Structure 1
Amino acid sequence: MPTSSPGATIRTLLVAPQQRGAYATIGDALAAATDDSVIAVAPGTYAEAIFVTGKRLKLVSADPAGGAVTLDAAAIPYPAVSARNASLTIEGFTLRSADAPAVTARGAQLALHDCALTAGFGPGVDLAGGSIEMRRCTVTGAQYGVVVEDAPGTIDDCQISEVAEDGIIVRIGADPVITGTVVRGCGRRGVYVYQFGRPTIEGCEVTQTGDAGIAVAHQSAPTIRRSRIHDTRGAGITVARGCGGAIEECQIENTGVPAVDIAEGATTTLVSARPDAAPLTIGDGAPAAGGDAAAVEALLADLDSMVGLAGVKDEVRALIDEIQVNEWRRSAGLSVGATGHHLVFAGAPGTGKTTVARIYGKLLAALGVLPMGAFKEVSRRDLVGQYLGHTAEKTSAAFEEARGGVLFIDEAYTLSRTMGSGGDFGQESIDTLVKLMEDHRHEIAVIAAGYTAEMDEFIAANPGLASRFTKTIVFENYSPEDLVRIVRRMCAADDYALADDVEPVLLRHFAAVERDAGFGNARDARKLFESMRKAQAQRLRVLGRRPTLDELRLLHRADLEAVVGTAGS
């Protein structure tokens, strides 16, 4: 970590693309900056991603009135800001990304003041090691709001809203102080503390979450003080076995039942908000029976709207019908046979397995079978460690994150194979999964996915897998006609259209493609569409004039033939 030198001169570098003598991009200024430099950026939008390694820097607006500076990496497959072993302060910026975190930091002292962050996939802020200081920031539209791992710091007067999964994650011993912060509109938990997390959460508001307002797991011990948790689908606060900490003078209203769920074996202390407050209900947090018929029908309509997959749709509908009837029988006091919700999805890549798994999880939540429709996708690298005992820890952590929803294991058969030389711990992960699936069989749906033949190998790796995965749904390759429809939908989603003579060529191309192990189905369709877009861009760029709106939208046969050639056309 860089440290300041006594008496060091602070240098200011100006970024202003239209001004002579100034730097044209933020990246250019970063390359020239020395420790303790201030990079002043003229208001405007900068389509770039920046990387800071081993330096002490500060980024501010060059406008004394705080003119807006936007760092937009939405068209770049990188975080808007990446910091490693650095000390970086950013004030007053809007930071945007698409398929990456807005900000990622490793071993860095990161300070964000008055910043607005958005991310399409991944966290708004993803910090591991070092420290974090966030003040008066907003995070919206990300997969996760803020992730703090193995680090102290401060999150003060921030707003985190409309994130797909958890609002704030504190893990692996992290102990930030979170004050005056509002977490609203999360698909899963508002705040999730696990793996020995020890944050202080004081004077915060958590509301409108798809699961618990605040969830505590894996030996964590937070202090939650004078905070308001309300209007959550799950319990206000849940604390798992083995956790500690304190819940002091909190206001918990209109949450799932129980309001506070402290598991047997936890040592958390609980202090009411005031002597005359209504008592907090404490219980085992079991999901209530029942269902949301409108939500079920809407989700089944989403399933039906997918291209092809007629057999898969029939299988899922049959499962949902059985679950619904069982719930009706249970509520009527009739006996119900033991059923599991774990599935094997067998088939080639790109056949919609992940999308169907997400819908299935939401269906189980809408039916009241699982407490939420959360979705956790993992692969071998997320479950298997590098030394004895590490795998069980990683597998258990992933399982815990998915509890209440779906754990989707992509290419699950790789767990049953020895990878490389030396010891391999894939079998340890399978054995751990088998036990966890038994211990929590009514709290999760595990879906193992992969090639059909290889999944037979996976099921044979542990005798307990066959009894837990009793149902296999086979995803067939898409037909050429299906793939043409998929390309057409991709075009419509991105404001493109196919010329009339393109679809026959597309159909002949997909009919001629060999359906071998390397065939990617919808993934290949996506690659082809992206390549057609690039070919169109190259064609339009040399027109010598600004293209019309129709020209910008229309993909020609020439664009397709530039990618696949003219054979068979």
Structure 2
Amino acid sequence: MSRVLSVAADRPGAYPTIGSALLDAPDGATILIAAGTYAETLELTGRSVVLRAEPKAEVVIDGSGADWPTIRSVDGALELHELVVRSADNLAVSTERTALTLTGCTITGGARPAVSVHAGPGVRIDRCVVRGAATGIVVEGAGGEISDTTVQDVSGDGIVIALGADPVVSGGSISGCGGRGLYVYQYSRPTVTDLEIGNTGAEGIGVAHGSTPSVRRVSVHDTRGPAITVGPGCGGTIEGLRPANTAEPALQLAPGATVEVIEASAASAVSGGPIDELLTELDTMVGLPGVKAEVRALVDELQVNEWRRTAGLSIGAVSHHLIFAGAPGTGKTTIARLYGKLLKALGALPDGGFTEVSRRDLVGQYIGHTAEKTAQVFEKSLGGVLFIDEAYTLSRSAGNGGDFGQEAIDALVKLMEDHRDEIAIIVAGYTAEMTDFLAANPGLGSRFSKTIEFENYSASELLLITGRMVSGGDYLLDPAADVPLTSYFDRIAGGPNFGNAREARRLVEGMRKAQSQRLRSLGRMPTTAELRSLLADDVHAAAEAR
């Protein structure tokens, strides 16, 4: 079992600094760090160590005043978990010939790259936020994986893959770059999937110097340059590119480029316009990679069925009814609205309207009244989507007059079969409770074509959602607020009443209230900048009030 060393500046028996703990740490040791800001830089050679924040602790390793990297590792193995690493004029994290793992970290830089990986056995960067540097992440001559990571607000390129590197870059987003979102060069061959790139000063993805990337299902929007440029002598595969509001042509291929281009989907290849726009809207939503893949698969299947019908070929029975299982605040209602619009664009439903109901809209007060109410709601929703939230409350096991709820379920089962091609019914609720709901009628489960699971948002995803909410309200979030925000979301995640994006919205409302109280106490008219700024103190005040 590896040794664990504790670091806490004011705790008797603990090491006062990370550096002092490293002096005593054997290879393979874990250094557990208490909350606080540690003005240190760490130089590791031939070492294998793990640096980890204590649970729910805000740990900042701040090398802003140094002329060398905040953390540098050579010829070793380094893991950083749930830490904030800062640098001003140098690299924040730099490795050579080192196996590097970063999970749940926030890395901020300045005049140089925030994270630099040169050679070595590989890198794993998962659920991190990288911002405020000349370049976000540089990987040279190494493999590994960069997953569900946000790179934002860098003056140059977001991610650079060079010197034959072949990492997998999946999920996450790159935005607010002065240069390219992703630059692949020097014979590199990364695999890039389900990535969102937006608001760049040059192209979304640049491919040069003999590189052969595999790019799949990447959304590129609001770029000053094309979505992707491919230089001479470069190859690889580009599949399912989803450009929006980029320079033309969206895909710019130089003479001599041999890249294979595959259209986004069967649907978008033919229908174009509205479907592409709706799929782009889907892709720009935060997180939900599994949900996005399921929706795209449904779209492709519907389009192929339409082609078969046009060709005079038989098609199987098609049901548009779905089950959305998961906790509140995970985007189920938003996806349901979008699904209805996609069905209309594909010609599967006539108007793509959306009606949202709950138990009280379907259940009456006496026998016979429920069937009548349910039929009225159903008929009103024909041609579009009927979304039944917390559908499990209709089953007998839910109590509260369950027999009337059962009457609604029984009526729905018959109506769904009689009008299969005229409506899409989506029932939503917690995963376990939806299992009980489906057991309420023997024919209920067979009426739905698929169950789509909505996972809880991670703290980094909630941070991104919060940022979008703040920007949408014409506010600016102080970068120093990221640490307390992430800590708050880490603390409440997984609780019995965790509301996901609803928690972000409630917190933003609390931050605005805290800002109002703070500005009123100034005794003067605030400046425009002050009126727009939400500070770390506003986050702390809002979090304490919840």
TM-score under structure 1 length normalisation: 0.48
Which structure exhibits the higher relative contact order, with contacts defined as CA atoms closer than 8 Å and separated by 6 or more residues?
A: 2
